[in-house]
Chains A and B, each alone.
Chain A
Amino acid sequence: MEDSILIQAIERYLEGTMLPAEKAYFEELRKNTPEIDQMVVEHNMFLHQMDGYSDQRNMKHALHDIHTKLLERGDINEGGELSTKGRVIQLYNKYKKVTAIAASVGGIIALVISGLTLYLSPASNNQIQELKREVESVKRNQQYQGAKLKEVDSKLPKDAILTGGGSGFLIDAKGYIITNAHVLKGSSFANVINNNHDEFKAKIIYRDEVRDLAILKIDDEDYTALKSLPYGFRKSDLDLGEEVFTLGYPRNDITYNKGDLSAKTGFNGDSTRWQLEMNANPGNSGGPVLDKNGEVIGVLSTREKQAEGVAFAIKSKNIFKLLDEVKDTDTSVQKIKIVSHSSMKGVERSTQIKQMENCVFLVQAFNKK
């Protein structure tokens, strides 16, 4: 009984519900009796633990409830039926209009300004420099517009459940893009954005989780197919130390990285991959890896966590194999023709990049709510 009266007093003391006189008396007692002082400290700590414990239990409970609620509402899903199909597409279409309007306004302003500057500028040599800067700044304006559009885009996926993203590149000028299957995992549709910030809808037409490859087809009226691809696909083996490079979208702008072939097998002797000495970053997944002649040798896919600057690429052989295997069964893939000849042989690196940068896309994968 003694103990429980003491505890009661301590608890009231800690809660601050003691009367002033009582409190003064208790503090005096605490000062003079180390045992009681110790008990107060101990009890305070204990109550603290109890509080934390209670908070955590209550939070766990709340999280559990929210999970169930969101599941019922279809905001999240666990492989069951999707309840509110098409909402994402609606949102997408809604924002697409806004971006289209913004783009045309931007375009018109740019045209008007450049037309005016051309019209108004006298044709003297001294002024040409000036004019150039004018045009430059218009260009910059356009880019700013581009950045604006991006903003609208990146807001959309947030609500539309952006499940992943990475890079991808054309394997056939008709609009067939290859990327990693892991970039698209858990997603039902995708869009691709090129280096000019043009955005296209894309269909996922094939996924191969084992090879970690997937094929997209651009399915958008705005897309005009290229005549041919500047790069080819290399079938022959590579030698260690060969210089390779990649383009990809670790950021919203296309980014170049170079390195060397450091092993003919991937992690743990995986013979379907190359090991590269290269600084790859998140977002590089699905980008092309090319040799110095501009022939694709693989698809960048992973990097080693424990080691700096070690990346792995799926050998381009696997793309051929995949296409061969599914050609008989999958009609959508039949139309794909892969060219092995590269038109970028012996061309300077910066020119190579310029020629191919519009063949490399930022891939955004979405899931329906």
Chain B
Amino acid sequence: MKAEFTEQALLKGLANNDSKAIETLYKDNFNMVQAFILNNNGSYDDARDIFQEAMIALYEKAKSDSFVLTSKINTYVYSICRRLWLKRLQQIGRYSNQIDSFEETVAVEEDIEIHEKRNAEFAIMDRALNSLGEPCKSLLEGYYVKKMDMQNLAKEFGYTNADNAKNQKYKCLIRLKKLFFAQYNIGE
């Protein structure tokens, strides 16, 4: 099979949510990471979690304006996974020895820090959204996450027209903002 994408094109595809690119990246890198996790006290589930986390990190990096990848994709993904996994092992106290196997890695500390900070922010958003209650939660999710338009949202939630749904959405949004910023500013 020939390479259908160059590395640059793959990353661009990833940033634009192109499913073919994501799939290619997944297929090309997953097995390497799985082998590493399984080799180091991990399970199949751990491998999937860690790998998907790394893909998210790569996705966010690829989306940012200041994006530069100085290594090959597989080296980068492997490095991220390796750091994340060692961190997790440390957290659960299973990290007994500091021995590694011989694979090429690049420094990813900074990227992981950025990624974790972002995750923390998104966790606040998630908590805020979940404590909103219905129908606010589903309404906002429908609009912002699923990107549905007001017409369809009104139909789904049984509002008589799109304007009513829109009004309701703004009210919900104000509540969400309050919840979010209450947590966010403490976090800062």
Contact = CB atoms under 8 A, between A and B. Distances in A.
Interface in A38-88: 42-43, 46, 49-60, 62-64, 66-67, 69-70, 75-76, 78-79
Interface in B64-117: 97-104
Interface stretch (B5-13, B25-33, B131-139, B153-161): B25-33
B17 A70 contact: no
Nearest to B30: A76
Contact of B35 (A53, A164, A267, A268): A164
Contacts of B63: 55
Q: Is the interface of B mostly helix, strand, loop or mixed?
A: helix
A61 to B, nearest CB: 9
Interface size class of B (residues with CB under 8 A): 35 or more
Interface string A163-183: 110100000000000000010
A122 interface: no
Contact of B97 (A8, A164, A267): A267
Interface string B40-83: 00001000100010011001100100000000000000000000
B170 A8 contact: yes
A3 B30 CA distance: 48
A284 B102 contact: yes
A53 B122 contact: yes
A54 B100 contact: no
A352 interface: no
Nearest to A65: B19
A186 B1 CA distance: 23
A64 B52 contact: yes
Contact of A46 (B60, B99, B145, B180): B180
B10 to A, nearest CB: 13
B17 A46 contact: no
Contacts of B173: 7
Interface in B122-148: 122, 125-126, 144-145, 147
B56 A59 contact: yes
A182 B170 CA distance: 57
A304 B98 contact: yes
A146 B18 CA distance: 38
Contact of A75 (B27, B122, B170, B180): B27
B98 A305 contact: yes
A224 interface: no
Contact of A303 (B39, B44, B100): B100
A62 B22 contact: yes
A285 B177 contact: no
B51 to A, nearest CB: 9
Contacts, number: 133
A283 B104 CA distance: 9
A53 B120 CA distance: 11
Nearest to A283: B102
Contacts of A265: none
B173 to A, nearest CB: 6
Contacts of B126: 53
A95 to B, nearest CB: 11
B174 interface: yes
A308 B145 CA distance: 48
B52 A60 contact: yes
Contact of A186 (B19, B30, B35): B35
A294 B72 CA distance: 38
A103 interface: no
A199 to B, nearest CB: 20
B91 to A, nearest CB: 18
A63 B22 contact: yes
A309 interface: no
A96 B32 CA distance: 24
Nearest to B173: A7
Contacts of A267: 97-99
Contacts of B166: 8
Contacts of A59: 17, 55-56, 59
Contact of A250 (B23, B102, B177, B180): B102
A17 to B, nearest CB: 13
Nearest to B63: A55
29 contacts: A4-B167, A4-B170, A7-B170, A46-B177, A49-B122, A49-B125, A53-B144, A53-B145, A58-B17, A59-B17, A63-B22, A63-B26, A63-B56, A66-B19, A67-B30, A76-B27, A161-B31, A166-B102, A186-B31, A186-B34, A250-B102, A280-B102, A281-B102, A282-B102, A282-B103, A285-B102, A302-B99, A302-B101, A302-B102
Given A7-B174, A57-B145, A306-B98, 17 more contacts: A4-B171, A49-B180, A51-B144, A53-B144, A55-B17, A56-B122, A67-B26, A67-B30, A67-B52, A70-B23, A185-B38, A186-B39, A282-B101, A302-B100, A304-B98, A304-B99, A305-B100
Interface of A: 3-4, 7-8, 11, 42-43, 46, 49-60, 62-64, 66-67, 69-70, 75-76, 78-79, 158-159, 161-164, 166, 182, 185-186, 250, 267-268, 280-285, 302-306, 312, 367
